[in-house]
Amino acid sequence: MLIAEGLAKRYGDCRALDGFDLVVRPGEIAGLVGHNGAGKTTFVEVVTGLVKPDAGRVRIAGVNALRDPRAARKLLGVAPQELALYNTATVRDNLRLFGSLAGLRGGGLQAAIGAVAEELRLTDVLGQRVGLLSGGQRRRTQAATAMLACPAVLLLDEPTAGADPETRAALLAAVRRRANAGAAVVYTTHYLPELAELGATLAVARCGQVIARGSQDSLISGLPGELRLRFDDAGARAPIPAGLADRARTVEDELRITTANPPADLAAVLAAGCTPTSVDVRKPDLDDLYRALATETPHAA
């Protein structure tokens, strides 16, 4: 389990973290999302011990990470947003180094390297220098260093940034397996469909705080959807009723009305004399949630 409570970090006048709270339980994948500057990367740096917070506490699988960072790091696997590999060393040597730092030795280390290489489709490149790999292969190698020792807590910061579809599929499958095995996973991304595919819970960060936390369904429920109408010609489209005008917009010849009650709003449009040739109702999704929460005033989660 990962527990972060009341984390605060200032850089001059900038509050990178301002009461950041996040709990991730064993077997859970928590999708950490937010605009650039929301505090996501600073949070990862604090948990990994790269940055000391001004206030707050972090516990990793029961270990106080701020008081005993060495013990905490042995329970933690990290794939940073910026690749941190030795380009002149082979993939196998990189994995051997990171595995040794995580406490693996001898036959156990070799078995772990073989298993994670097969899982992330790296077996054929174990003997190649990292600097000669493709971008996708380097991404998988970085993820392999984090997953090698099957840590209790896994931090993945934009692990599929710039990745090809094959790399993305392999990484997501590996993340699901780690969570199914009991790891607490924090997965930061700007690509929200990945979180839906992973079945992740959500933590939305803004201005150094987590402003919303919960399952995707619970956070999306209640958000308005969108009524989309198309017309054969301009004559089929009568003036929009005044009550809907402030929620209506035109996008590529399609009239879109933000709505929490599609049947009622469609009835109002038809009663006004509009005769659409097609009607589509789009339910709210993670993008809508992100846009709604990212513009809210920060509050305690």
Is the pLDDT at 31 greater than 90? The verdict is yes
Alpha carbon 244 to chain centroid, angstroms = 35
pLDDT for position 298: 45
Q: Quick one: what percent of the chain has pLDDT higher than 90?
A: 57
pLDDT for position 30: 97
pLDDT, mean of residues 63-72: 91
Rounded to the nearest integer, the mean pLDDT of the chain is 89
Contact 144, 120 (CB under 8 A): yes
Kindly report the length of the chain.
Answer: 301
Q: What is the pLDDT of residues 247-286, one digit of tens each?
A: 888 887 788 898 888 899 899 888 888 888 899 998 887 7
pLDDT for position 235: 55
Distance, CA of 135 to CA of 87 (rounded, Å): 12
pLDDT for position 299: 41
Task: Name the 3-class secondary structure at 36.
Answer: coil
Contact 26, 186 (CB under 8 A): no
Whether the model clears a pTM of 0.85, i.e. scores above it, the answer is no
Contact 123, 80 (CB under 8 A): no
Is the pLDDT at 70 greater than 90? The verdict is no
pLDDT, mean of residues 162-168: 84
* Of 143, 185, 184, 187, the residue nearest 163 (C-alpha): 143
Beta carbons within 8 Å of 282's beta carbon, 6+ residues apart: 225, 226, 227, 228
- CA-based angle 32:38:39, to the nearest 5? 75
Q: Which domains does the chain have, with CATH numbers?
A: 2-75+151-220 (3.40.50.300), 225-283 (no CATH)
Instruction: Establish how many alpha carbons lie within 13 A of residue 14's alpha carbon, considering only the half-sphere containing its beta carbon.
Output: 6
Beta carbons within 8 Å of 236's beta carbon, 6+ residues apart: 274, 275, 276, 277
pLDDT, mean of residues 225-254: 81
pLDDT for position 253: 78
